[in-house]
């Protein structure tokens, strides 16, 4: 009797692990066909880009960035900064993995840690987040592309087209209007509301999801574009935002599965982080020396963590991926409250959380209506065909 119970527990654990930890990658159709029909006598190309593509995808960005970093580190003795600036390399061991694994870039870890725990100026934290993600998320981007994991290319392109002007507007006109505490409050409040909405969405058992945006049309493209503008503005003051904005729209409104939405945000965030870094360093040229030093000692960590996170995330169940979002936002919210902000900020933050929660819930409801409408349209042609057959008989 006890033995049967023990076997049953072991079986349940195996089923759980297989479902949530070993679900497998969602590959694009072409790559999935190649994997399924792997040749008996493979060439070197087949071995590299089909059989061992996962390991190759992780090693390529890691190796290239490490070669460059070590040559620069030895030449300019970057090791001298570790005793003073060791905090972020340690934080980014976990942060970069989470960034590659979830819909939130590593900046979602770096920004709250630097502003809430280390009490660093939000502008420095923003710049460091962009700089660091230009390495970590770009490495993860390369990993996603080489692994041929499916992502929503239209969301990436239109999101980028909106995020670039959004970032420029935000960094010049929105960011100067906000104080440091206000930036922290906005960052925490908006994403806490999103996490709550995503939790409600995932509480719906066996909800239907799509691998890509269904029935793509002009209005959906405009939604992605304007979402990109808003996300770019958030990136301008927090170093993170475009990823979670696009993720929220394609999961809540268009009902795209997190398995596709997460690599989509990785590709998008990597692209915008490079642009943001370039714009701040070259076009504006006022990145603080502290951000440069933190960046110089964190590069080798980000180069490894991003691809590893992307690899792990592509195998996990969508609900497990979503759970990481909940944990991150809960930690950020608690961290913000531990800084003992003024009651005005707490009240405003609470109002924003409630308002954004209502907004995301409405978006989710609209997404549900769109899905029902889409299902009805698919069923109608079948009904018409059956009616025509019946009439002919």
pLDDT tens digits, one per residue of 159-208: 999 999 999 999 999 999 998 888 888 888 877 877 877 777 677 666 77
385 belongs to a structural domain: no
Who contacts 165 (Cβ-Cβ below 8 Å, separation ≥6)?
A: 229, 232
391 belongs to a structural domain: no
Mean pLDDT over 73-97 rounds to 92
Residue 237 φ/ψ region, left for φ over 0, alpha for ψ in the -120 to 50 degree band, beta for the rest: alpha
E runs forming strands in 194-321? none
What is the pLDDT at residue 268?
A: 93
Mean pLDDT over 79-106 rounds to 86
- With H, G, I as helix, E, B as strand and everything else as coil, classify residue 316: coil
- CA triplet 226, 98, 184: central angle to 5 degrees? 60
32 belongs to a structural domain: no
Give the separation between CA 363 and CA 376, rounded to whole angstroms.
Answer: 20
What is the pLDDT at residue 169?
A: 96
Mean pLDDT over 112-136 rounds to 90
349 belongs to a structural domain: yes
What is the pLDDT at residue 27?
A: 67
Q: Among 191-200, 255-264, 300-309, 328-337, which is the least confidently predicted range?
A: 191-200
Mean pLDDT over 234-240 rounds to 88
235 belongs to a structural domain: yes
Give the separation between CA 172 and CA 69, rounded to whole angstroms.
Answer: 31
pTM of the model: 0.86
Which range of residues forms the domain containing residue 54? Answer: 46-368
Q: What is the mean pLDDT of the chain?
A: 84
Half-sphere exposure of 23 (CA within 13 A, CB side): 19
The residue with greater pLDDT, 282 or 307, is 282
Mark 327-341 as b/e (b = at least 16 C-beta within 10 Å): ebbeebbebbeeeeb
Q: Among 33-42, 56-65, 136-145, 221-230, which is the least confidently predicted range?
A: 33-42
**Euclidean distance between the first and final Cα of the chain, in Å?**
61
392 pLDDT above the threshold of 70:
no
285 pLDDT above the threshold of 90:
yes
DSSP 8-state code for residue 86: -
384 pLDDT above the threshold of 60:
no
- CA triplet 144, 367, 237: central angle to 5 degrees? 60
Give the separation between CA 385 and CA 379, rounded to whole angstroms.
Answer: 10
Q: Are 345 and 180 in contact (CB under 8 A)?
A: no
Alpha helices in 314-392 (DSSP H): 318-338, 343-392
Mean pLDDT over 264-269 rounds to 91
11 belongs to a structural domain: no
311 pLDDT above the threshold of 90:
no
What is the pLDDT at residue 172?
A: 95
314 belongs to a structural domain: yes
75 belongs to a structural domain: yes
E runs forming strands in 6-86? none
* Counted domains in the chain: 1
Whole-number CA gyration radius for the chain: 23
The residue with greater pLDDT, 386 or 297, is 297
pLDDT tens digits, one per residue of 322-373: 777 788 788 888 888 888 888 898 999 899 888 888 888 888 889 888 888 7
Q: How far is CA 358 from CA 69, 362, 364, 370, 371, in A?
A: 46, 6, 10, 18, 20
Nearest to 241 by CA among 332, 145, 167: 167
How many other C-beta atoms are found inside a 10 Å radius of the C-beta of residue 85? 18
Give the separation between CA 164 and CA 187, rounded to whole angstroms.
Answer: 20
What is the pLDDT at residue 35?
A: 74
293 pLDDT above the threshold of 70:
yes
Who contacts 252 (Cβ-Cβ below 8 Å, separation ≥6)?
A: 197, 198, 201, 360, 363, 364, 367
What is the pLDDT at residue 379?
A: 64
């Amino acid at each position: 009797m006890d033995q049967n119970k023990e076997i049953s527990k072991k079986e349940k654990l195996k089923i759980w692990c297989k479902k949530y930890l070993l679900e497998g990658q969602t590959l694009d159709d072409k790559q999935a066909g190649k994997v399924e029909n792997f040749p008996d006598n493979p060439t070197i190309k087949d071995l590299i880009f089909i059989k061992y593509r996962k390991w190759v995808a992780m090693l390529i960005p890691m190796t290239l960035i490490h070669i460059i970093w070590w040559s620069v580190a030895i030449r300019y003795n970057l090791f001298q900064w570790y005793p003073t600036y060791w905090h972020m390399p340690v934080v980014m061991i976990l942060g970069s993995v989470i960034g590659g694994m979830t819909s939130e870039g590593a900046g979602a870890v770096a920004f709250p840690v630097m502003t809430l725990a280390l009490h660093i100026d939000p502008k420095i934290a923003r710049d460091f987040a962009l700089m660091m993600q230009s390495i970590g998320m770009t490495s993860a981007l390369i990993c996603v592309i080489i692994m041929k994991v499916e992502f929503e290319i239209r969301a990436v392109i239109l999101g980028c087209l909106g995020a670039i002007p959004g970032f420029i507007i935000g960094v010049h006109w929105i960011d100067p209007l906000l104080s440091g505490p206000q930036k922290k409050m906005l960052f925490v409040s908006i994403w806490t509301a999103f996490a709550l909405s995503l939790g409600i969405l995932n509480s719906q058992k066996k909800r239907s999801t799509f691998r890509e945006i269904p029935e793509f049309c002009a209005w959906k493209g405009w939604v992605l574009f304007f979402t990109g503008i808003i996300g770019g503005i958030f990136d301008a003051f927090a170093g993170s935002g475009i990823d979670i904005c696009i993720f929220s729209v394609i999961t809540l409104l268009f009902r795209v599965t997190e398995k596709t939405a997460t690599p989509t945000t990785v590709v998008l965030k990597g692209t915008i982080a490079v642009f943001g870094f370039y714009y701040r360093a070259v076009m504006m040229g006022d990145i603080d020396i502290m951000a440069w030093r933190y960046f110089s000692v964190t590069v080798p960590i980000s180069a490894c963590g991003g691809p590893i996170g992307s690899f792990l995330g592509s195998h996990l169940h969508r609900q497990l991926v979503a759970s990481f979002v909940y944990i991150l936002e809960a930690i950020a919210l608690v961290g913000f409250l531990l800084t003992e902000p003024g009651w005005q900020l707490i009240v405003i933050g609470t109002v924003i959380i409630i308002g954004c929660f209502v907004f995301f819930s409405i978006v989710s409801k609209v997404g549900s209506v769109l899905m029902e409408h889409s299902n009805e349209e698919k069923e109608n042609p079948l009904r018409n065909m059956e009616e025509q057959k019946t009439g002919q008989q």
